[in-house]
Amino acid sequence: MSSFVQWLTESMFLWKALIIIVIFAITLGIAAYSTWAERKVAAYIQDRRGPNRAGWGGLLQPLADAGKMFFKEDFIPAQADKWLFILGPCLSMFTALMSSAVVPFGNSFIIGGKEVFVQAIEINIGILYVFGVVSLGVYGVMIGGWASNNKFSLLGAIRAASQNISYELAMGMSIIAILMMSGTLSVREIVLQQHGGNWNIFYQPLGFLIFTVCAFAECNRTPFDLPECETELVGGYHTEYSSMKLGFYLFAEYINMFASSAVTACLFFGGYNYPGMDFVETQLISALGANVGHNVATLIGIGSMFTKILFGIFFFMWVRWTVPRFRYDQLMNLGWKGLIPLAVANLVITAGAILSGYKLVGIWAGLGLMIVLISVGWSLRPKKKNAIMGA
């Protein structure tokens, strides 16, 4: 028994468990307050006040909503496939919560002479893990939509499936451009390489654009929220859901927003890096000693990471209340005929720039050349006689 206790205190196990629980709690907390922030942002953009009754500035609104959700009738339709109907929202929530496991939220704490990474698991296939979890995210929607035994739910589920498959391709290819530059699949390594203002956004502007659009589509957020398009499909895949099962679906969307903002921050905005972090760390170490100084510097880094994540979530909301919903054929055309060719072009340009030895100049020159070629090609395109609008 004493050897077990000794193992517990000496190994990373307790620290890792603590970090996982804290990340889990913060994820849920941020997702809960995103529902409040979404209404406040919507209200601000539409010149209203938003929720302001429950608590100061409506801050208790998420609690009130959760209470309402729990006390509603939990209804399962008579012709529904009962187990799959229950499995749907569970899977949605499960896959949403899994994806932040490999995200490094900060550098490391030095505790008792050991370095503990502020990250749940550090594996050398980190990005592939994120990508795998994202590709599983659609099962919750599909299974729930099919099990409801309702036309509108089924249509929503099928829309979700085709949308996710289409946008995963472009997303994967925009990530490959990042991987070619960093030469590693580990998210922590990718963040470490962006140290010193060397953020990937400067090298991969087109890749960032493609990745963001695909992230919106994968999260089912406006302008790509066709699976739950209420003007056409009543409520989409969650038409038949009520009570906390509906709550799980809606909540999973906010967790997905948090996770995709975190991944975007890591891949393109340097993760926990911020300008002047070396200066801050040396000052802190000389003032507080090596260990405490390093830990305080890590805390500031975590703060910078969460600033980026919160801005990402705000960006999701900003777009939702600015851009109207796409039509379904426009969505498919954008995915297959717009984003995938652009992502392939981005791959070729990035590869050429890396081979030429001038990464930054090469990539921007390549992108400029691509824009010139596209505009020349567009103006020289043969005019169709019976051109159909919108095709």
Partner 1 sequence: MQNILSLPPIWYTFAILSVLTLFGALGTIMSKNPVHSVIYLIVTFFSISAHYILLNAQFLAAVNIIVYAGAIMVLFLFVIMFLNMKQESDEMKNNKLITTAVITALLLGGILIIFLRRAEKQKVDVTSFSSQTGMVEVLGKSLYGEYLLPFELVSVLFLVAMAGAVMLAKREAGERHF
What residue ranges bind partner 1 (CB under 8 A)?
81, 84, 123-125, 128-129, 131-132, 135-136, 138-139, 142-143, 146, 154, 157-158, 161-162, 164-165, 168, 185
Please enumerate, as own/partner, the contacts of 50-58 that have beta carbons within 8 Å and a separation of 24 or more.
none
Distance (Å, rounded) from C-alpha 105 to C-alpha 117?
A: 9
Please report where in the chains the tokens 């499936």 appear, as a residue: 161
The DSSP H or E segment spanning 133 is: helix 126-136
CB of 40 to partner 1, least distance (A): 35
Q: Which is nearer to partner 1, 3 or 46 (CB)?
A: 3
Q: Which is nearer to partner 1, 60 or 84 (CB)?
A: 84
Write the burial class of residue 370 (CB in 10 Å: 0-12 exposed, 13-18 middle, 19+ buried): middle
Q: Measured at the alpha carbon of residue 155, what is the angle toward residues 150 and 157, in degrees to the nearest 5?
A: 95
**Rg value, the chain, Cα:** 23
Please report where in the chains the tokens 């008792």 appear, as a residue: 112
Cβ atoms of 344 and 337 within 8 Å: the answer is: no
What are the angstrom distances between the C-alpha of 277 and each of 179, 270, 273?
A: 25, 12, 7
Please report where in the chains the tokens 């409801």 appear, as a residue: 148
The DSSP H or E segment spanning 341 is: helix 340-356
What are the angstrom distances between the C-alpha of 303 and each of 59, 122, 314?
A: 22, 20, 16
Q: Which is nearer to partner 1, 199 or 237 (CB)?
A: 237
Write the burial class of residue 242 (CB in 10 Å: 0-12 exposed, 13-18 middle, 19+ buried): middle
The one-letter amino acid code at 28 reads L
Q: Which is nearer to partner 1, 140 or 223 (CB)?
A: 140
Cβ atoms of 326 and 213 within 8 Å: the answer is: no
CB of 175 to partner 1, least distance (A): 12
Distance (Å, rounded) from C-alpha 172 to C-alpha 9?
A: 40
Cis peptide before 227 (omega within 30 of 0): no
CB of 184 to partner 1, least distance (A): 8
Q: Which is nearer to partner 1, 186 or 291 (CB)?
A: 186
Cis peptide before 223 (omega within 30 of 0): yes
